[in-house]
A and B are shown apart, each in its own frame.
Chain A
Amino acid sequence: MEAVTVDSSVVIELKKAVKDYGGNKRIGPANLTIRKGEIVGFLGPNGSGKTTCIRLILGLIRASSGTVKVNGFDPIANHVEALRHVAYSPELPNIQTFLSPRELLNLISHELFFPDNADRKSEIDHVIELVGLHDYANTKVGKLSKGMVQRLSVAQALVGSPETLILDEPMIGLDPAGVVHFRDVFRDFATHGKGTVFMSSHIMSEVESLCTSVAMIHHGRILFQGSVEEVVEKVLDYSLVELETSPLTPQTLQQLKEISGVNQVNMADSGKRDSVAIEITICERDHDIRPEIADIVVKSGAKLYTIKQGENMLEKAYIEALKETNGGKP
């Protein structure tokens, strides 16, 4: 019953956790540490073991070997203590279709033994409002759209003011406005509520914009964990500069290639009339060469529409990492 984690800032800890499903299916050994206040993106291809790790953390399945601790407790042996302030929103939730959102939240608030009816009602009203379900609060789940069910999945996780949110693909099925809204909800939960968020996702841009750190899993093993910048640096030995210009002459392209640190210059159609997209690969990370690039382009007489550091670097790092572990295949 006693919490054994020495570092009280650690909320979730997997140490050499293995789940053996029999046959050839085995996840782990996985090592993962999530600290209080972090927003951690959990990345990995389909079947890599993300959901298994989440189910281990939630005490829904038992580790075949290794240890799993949540708030210092074993989530199987001390399920209540481990998950007292932890909430989970499943991917494509299988929610009881005969209940309405209000009835489901009521059931869950009973599970969490809210002290009295007034508190329960006000908490449920607050959560329904927060996820934008007020117009559907009394509609049976079976009649809700996929996006609304996803909102309900997050709503049921928010009931009871948890300190840690575990979200399995929380943005699936949401419309763009919903994605933006939920991003704000999770960010607010982490910053103002000082909560911890651990979310699995396939949407790299989403993870890059929301998460303070990421963990990548492949074949059941955590490849690495750290801040987005650390992970990108660790995997990619280059950075990118992207620009949009009017078409450049071969001489200008050659001049760009001759800048110190430049590895490669690629020109492609930008999809717009009278402009091209240029991607410049740079091997020296610390040296910002954008002023030099801009100078060459402008002096060549071409029009420079945009110039920026490469985006979606996490996605590139992710694909690169998968290639490395798969022997060159993404």
Chain B
Amino acid sequence: MKRAEVVFTFARYEIKRAIARKKVLALVAFTILLSVLPYYALSQAGTTLIPTDVYPYLWVFAILLVGPLFLNFTAILIAAGSMSEEYEQGTAELLLSKPVRRSDYIAGKFLGGYVLFLFILALTLILSISSAFTFFGFQDDLSLIPGLFIAQAFSSLLFFSLAFMLGELIRRSSLAYIFSSAVFFSSYIISVFLSAIFRATGKVVYRTVQIYLPTSAASSLPIQYALPRLPPIVSTALTFINTSTSRPTISLSIEILLLYTIASVTIAVAYFLHADISRKLS
């Protein structure tokens, strides 16, 4: 019980730290921009662009279109600095000189950062639904919200964990952001190329490699969850995201997500438990 309290203390501290560093403010601003502006722009483009049958389901577009890029990248922005910024500022030393377990500290930092990410995700959903309702009227199939929230939260765990691990290993926030982003965008670009090569050559190896890239699993689950539960017209409207790359099955997506997440968390924790606590970088 006491250990859980300590973990929650560090989680609250991590949230407060992110708020103080204006990180949350910037992310909220971007969330508002990306969840409102596209709907407004679509509403101004005229009714011919989107079939009116799709209007009641437009709320889901923000998650399925914005999610793979913005939400996964948000996870990186939150997690990469979680450990590294504390080393850079020398503040980790003070907290870890107390009689607390390192495992409680790292668990609290991870939890706090992830709660922050969930807040951004929830905000994205709420704003998307509100914007879709405001510009396109009544929205349907809102019962999918909890499932979609869980699917996206679980998917983004991959890049959150990866960036968290790189932050701990590199211990310099700017480098951790650069490396994490490089993995993210490289994976995206390579994925598109491999998919194109597979379609052109039919060689399965390209498809297999593409499926196991981190972005494939991280961007698949919400789509795999939502599309079968929505009317076919929504799938048709979203054809371009549905066919650009090959996608693993739901169970394989979950396995790949778990594999990357568990590996990243294990490496981060093992390194943190055994490495020296760095002094402030000058």
Contacts and interface: CB of A to CB of B under 8 A. Distances in A.
A124 B94 CA distance: 17
Interface stretch (A36-44, A104-112, A264-272, A299-307): A104-112
B277 A61 contact: yes
A86 B95 CA distance: 13
A88 B91 contact: no
A83 B99 contact: yes
Contacts of B98: 83, 87, 108, 111-112
A79 B102 contact: yes
Interface string B19-31: 0110000000000
A60 interface: yes
A96 interface: yes
B280 A110 contact: no
Interface string B77-111: 00000000000011101111111111000000000
A62 B101 contact: no
Contact of A60 (B20, B97, B99, B100): B97
Contacts of B16: 98-99
Contacts of A110: 5-6, 9
Contacts of B280: 94
A88 B277 CA distance: 15
Contact of A94 (B2, B13, B89, B101): B89
B276 interface: yes
B99 A94 contact: no
Interface string B188-218: 0000000000000000000000000000000
B277 A60 contact: yes
A316 interface: no
A93 interface: yes
B132 to A, nearest CB: 36
Contact of B94 (A55, A62, A79, A95): A95
Interface of A: 55, 58, 60-62, 79-84, 86-88, 90, 93-96, 98-99, 107-108, 110-113, 156
Given A88-B97, A95-B94, A113-B6, 15 more contacts: A60-B97, A79-B101, A80-B100, A81-B99, A94-B89, A94-B91, A94-B93, A94-B280, A98-B16, A98-B17, A99-B16, A110-B6, A111-B95, A112-B98, A156-B94
Interface of B: 2, 5-6, 9, 13, 16-17, 20-21, 89-91, 93-102, 274, 276-277, 280
